[in-house]
Amino acid sequence: MNCVQINNSQEWKEHVISCQKPVVVSFFAEWCAPCHKLNPQLIQEAQKNCEKWQLALVNVDNEELYDVVQQIAKAQIPSVHLLNRGTSIDSMTGYSERKTKSFINRVCS
């Protein structure tokens, strides 16, 4: 599985903290227009690079993940973070196709 929607802290632990490979976490909101452009691009890249990293999607409006959102995304959306066993290695905020491609290139290198 290379893309998973995180809905609670148990899924966060299972799919992000305990994951054997790096995880790109996209913090998004349904009402965020740039998020609707970013996530499909990330999903497409995750499918191409599934052996290198996994994608996790986190809705910032999910109250069950409030602590995770506050700790990592810090209320900035869209916000994308590369995590290795829960530790942030790289991040990107905002959206542009060019910025996203640059971030993915860093993730894949």
Convert the pLDDT of each residue in 33-48 to its tens digit.
999 999 999 999 998 8
CA distance 10 to 32: 25
Q: Cα separations (Å) of 83 from 14, 30, 31?
A: 13, 23, 25
Q: State the greatest distance between any 2 C-alpha atoms of the chain, in Å, as a whole number.
A: 34
Please give the model's pTM, rounded to 2 decimal places: 0.93
DSSP state string for 3-45: EEEE-SHHHHIIIIIS-SS-EEEEEE-TT-HHHHHHHHHHHHH
pLDDT band at 1 (very low <50, low <70, confident <90, very high): low
Residue ranges of domains in the chain, CATH in brackets: 3-108 (3.40.30.10)
Looking at this protein, which amino acid is placed at residue 31? W
